[in-house]
Amino acid sequence: MCGIWALFGSDECLSVQCLSAMKIAHRGPDAFRFENVNGFTNCCFGFHRLAVVDQLYGMQPIRVKKFPYLWLCYNGEIYNFKQLQKQFGFDYQTLVDGEVILHLYNRGGIEQTASMLDGVFAFILLDTANRKVFLARDTYGVRPLFKMLTDDGFLGVCSEAKGLINLKHSTSLSSQVEPFLPGHYEVLDLKPSGKVSSVELVKFHSCKDEPLHVAYDTVEALPSGFDLETVKSNIRILFENAVRKRLMSHRRIGCLLSGGLDSSLVAAVLLKQMKEININYPLQTFAIGMENSPDLLAARKVAAHIGSEHHEVMFSTEEGIQAIEEVIFSLETYDITTIRASIGMYLVSKYIRKKTDSVVIFSGEGSDELTQGYIYFHKAPSPEEAAEESERLLKELYLFDVLRADRTTAAHGLELRVPFLDHRFTSYYLSLPAELRIPKNGIEKYLLRLSFEDSSLLPKEILWRPKEAFSDGIASVKKSWFSILQDYIDQQVDDLLLEKAAEKYPFNPPKTKESYYYRQIFEKHYSGRSSWLPHYWMPRWVKATDPSARTLKHYKSATQE
């Protein structure tokens, strides 16, 4: 996990512009480099490093003697770099996984490069010999990337929008800072002036398509067919493989553990595989909540079962409320449910950074979208519509859960790993008949639970624990976290302000005091950038006015049974 930043065609002094690069310093607390591009005095790269792989030669932009005309700045992990080296006979000069991008590009161009990478990535690749700039981002946008391109060809690229919004440019031409779309690459021509012009934006991978790199995977071809035993076995094999490949790290590995199905499965499989490859330190697991919250109690049970070194992080109402502004600044969004869920994750990440030496953090993001884990999937009109909704949610992850997971951990210099969003695992799961993937017997994620039922990885009551919204599970049963937030905010926002909200904020107008309060803070830091959020996250097929699962009729917490 790093922070990348680059400018092409800046009319302003680069020493002034590079102050913007410091806005993402939290993403790479180990080292910083600022480097001009030879022959292009108005082009430069900025890089904040979190050293996870190859601590000696991992600084960026990466340049190797074999390709002196290539410059690479990337944020991510490429899990198949060794398999690709073996397959194509690449001669690596460093131990950095990202070096494979240079060799793939030299061998087959940008399309093949982006398609062959098994991992999470956002990168800027400069080819000065052919005067091209390439941008690319992984299928689900697990690693963030923003760009700004003015009408006269000044390009800024950064891991977070905050590193671009204050850039200076000489013209009064409008510059839109926008997220770079996941699963895409862009080709830009680099002019002698250092300015650029966009040539094409190409979608190189859809979540349903089996990725090209499967041909070089460590797991052989799986048995075909949709009989239940075959499907369950394939799900286990691919999920365990997704966790195994993510063990690539020179820094200590930890795991977030809410006690729900997703994080518990990740933690259990992770600990098992750490033992198998003889990692000689205990796995630290981390749960956060208010006193006696459902998540803390469930996580304690899981940690005892799997034998992790468990940390419980308690927070008070005051601490949660005090963190709201910092969280919104980190997130760069005003989405209601994202902010609610981010507060706990932000505070637990702060604890991990200050109190432990775990840096690479596993988490369960992506499972709800992939395996139809949200409560409202019970109301889907048909399996086909549920399958379509699952794909829509996966495509929008970069606006919601993946954004939350990245920014809350990166704010504290941690690197997140999300095995549920493994390309091969997700494409297989989405290839299964729609009927197999829907909730059954009133239980969401039924197929995933069933696949692990015969293993002793988790206690049965955890494997079949009903869904808790993360922002609710951290609070007590008597009063959910969103109710606590709403009670506080009710005193902060005047009724009259809410009545005039649509006049003040015509795009995505706030409908509640809570959303008004978040929007005010967002506009304070990112004025006029409301289009970063195309719409609020809300459940479908139900008349919901609030995104919390606890407001849905189907919702039933374990204590009410």
Annotated binding site: 97, 256, 288, 363-364
Q: Single out the catalytic residue among 2, 44, 158, 207.
A: 2
Annotated binding site for L-glutamine: 97
Cβ 24 vs Cβ 5: under 8 Å: yes
| Cis peptide bond prior to 29, omega within 30° of 0 | no
Do 399 and 142 form a contact (C-beta atoms < 8 A)? no
User: Measured between alpha carbons, how far is 72 from 74 in angstroms, rounded to an integer?
Assistant: 6
331: nearest Cα among 179, 478, 480: 179
Adjacent-strand bridge partners of 150? 175
Other C-beta atoms closer than 10 Å to the C-beta of 529 total 18
Helix axes of 481-490 and 513-525: crossing angle, nearest 10 degrees: 80
Q: Please state, in angstroms and rounded to a whole number, the distance separating the CA atoms of residues 561 and 559.
A: 6
Please give the single-letter amino acid code of residue 393. L
Q: Is 445 left (phi over 0), alpha (psi -120 to 50) or beta?
A: left
Active site residue 13: no
| Residue set of the binding site for ATP | 256, 288, 363-364
DSSP for residue 292: T
Gap between the Cα atoms of 403 and 366, Å rounded: 11
Distance CA 326, CA 336 (A): 15
Per-residue burial over 230-243, b = 16 or more CB atoms within 10 Å of its CB, e = otherwise:
ebbebbbbbbbbbb
User: Which residues are tagged catalytic?
Assistant: 2
